[in-house]
Structure formats: structure tokens, C-alpha cells
Amino acid sequence: QVQLVESGGGLVQAGGSLRLSCAPSGRTFSRFGMGWFRQQPGKEREFVAGISWDHERTYYADFVKGRFTISRDNANNTVYLQMNRLKPEDTAVYYCAADGSGVGGFRTVYDYWGQGTQVTVSS
């Protein structure tokens, strides 16, 4: 059974940092594009960042450019989202997702999803 397990969420003050991790299990995801999404209360889930299977391409939503960085360690089958200069409006449940096409882009159809991890930024 394929699972994506997110970790690293929590409560942080505005201006602080968190690093989210996503550890797929059940298969190797080195050929998958990987993405991070978030869902804020009362809103639809939205794309945050993505990375291609070969690290060559990264994609970011405008509202996180310059603050968040996505990376991956294929040897350890882990994807990260480093979040710096966090704002209260970044408060959301963050989801990891895997894209079998390898692209990891914002228009990609993702095949697998994690359960999410809560990030809360206090003002």
C-alpha cells in the first residue's frame, strides 16, 4: 500500500521557520514529481510548490516565492518544504502529493496524497 506521510508541522510565531518532510512508503518515488499543497479553513486546496523527479525543475506559487524552498533526497525517499518568514496567512493543513508523470508542476494531476500536517502561524 502506497502512503505519503507528512511531518514537521506545528505552531510557530510570525517570521519564524518550519521544515516539512514527506516520506513516501510502499514504493520508491524517485521517478515521481512531488508537490506540496495547502488548504486553509473554508478554502479550496491550493498548490504551494513542486519539484520534478530529477531535481531539475521547481515550481512555486507566487505567494511563497522567496520564502519557501522545496527539495528532495531521492536516496532517502524524502521531500522537504523549508518555510521561512512565515505569515499568519500561511496557516493551513499542508499536504504532500506524488505525480507519476515526474513533472511535479502546478497543473499536474497528482496520483497519491498524504493525510496532511497542520501549520499554524501566530501573529
DSSP per-residue string spanning 55-89? SS-EEE-GGGTTTEEEEEEGGGTEEEEEE-S--GG
Strands 10-13 and 117-122: parallel
Q: What is the mean pLDDT of residues 76-84?
A: 95
| pLDDT for 24 beyond 90 | no
| pLDDT for 22 beyond 90 | yes
Between CA 8 and CA 44 the distance in angstroms is 22
Q: What is the mean pLDDT of residues 93-116?
A: 94
Q: Tell me the pLDDT of the chain averaged across its residues.
A: 94
User: What does the pLDDT read at residue 78?
Assistant: 93
| pLDDT for 1 beyond 90 | no
Burial class (CB within 10 angstroms; exposed 0-12, middle 13-18, buried 19+) of 28: exposed
Q: What is the mean pLDDT of residues 1-6?
A: 86
**In one letter, which amino acid is 107?**
R
| pLDDT for 86 beyond 90 | yes
| pLDDT for 27 beyond 80 | no
Q: Which three cell numbers stand for residue 76?
A: 532517502
